[in-house]
Structure 1
Amino acid sequence: MQGNNRANIKVGATVSVVLKKDQGSGALTQGVVQRILTNSANHPHGIKVRLEDGQVGRVKVIHGDGH
């Protein structure tokens, strides 16, 4: 599932994000959503989230909803 739609992303979900430092390479980092930072319903580059380890990135893939 793609990470462009805020409604698809839940706190506690396992996701893959692109960190700011990895935007050039597109490298993905996997983690668990701690907080959703984007307020709009959709974002073309992916919804921005903070992971439980404190890293911030835009969601590219949603692996599970955490429930």
Structure 2
Amino acid sequence: MDGNNRKNITRGSLVDVVQKPDQRTGNLTRGRVKDILTKSPFHPHGIKVRLESGIVGRVKTILQKAP
């Protein structure tokens, strides 16, 4: 599932994000969502989130929704 729609992302979801410095390389970082930072319901480059590790990035893939 892609991370362009805010309604698909919930706190605790396991996601792959791309950080700002990795946008050109496309390196992904995996983690659980702590906070959803994007307020709009849709963003073409992915919804911006903060992971539990403190990393901020845009969601590229939702691997597992939170229970």
Question: If the TM-score is normalised by the length of the shorter chain, which range does it land in?
Answer: over 0.9
Q: Which runs of 4+ in 1 moved over 2 A?
A: none
Provide the TM-score with structure 1 as the length reference: 0.98
Deviations 1:16-67 (A, max 9, x none): 0000110110111000000000000000000000000000000000011121
Q: Give, in whole Å, the separation in 1 of the partners of 2:21 and 2:48.
A: 14
Cα RMSD for the two superposed structures: 0.4
Overall identity of the aligned pairs, in %:
60
Gaps of 5+ in 1: none
Determine if the alignment matches structure 1 residue 2 to structure 2 residue 8: no
Count of aligned pairs between the two proteins: 67
What pairs up with 1:21-60 in 2 under 5 angstroms? 21-60=21-60
Q: Give, in whole Å, the separation in 2 of the partners of 1:44 and 1:27.
A: 18
Q: Give, in whole Å, the separation in 1 of the partners of 2:21 and 2:35.
A: 20
Q: Give, in whole Å, the separation in 2 of the partners of 1:27 and 1:9.
A: 20
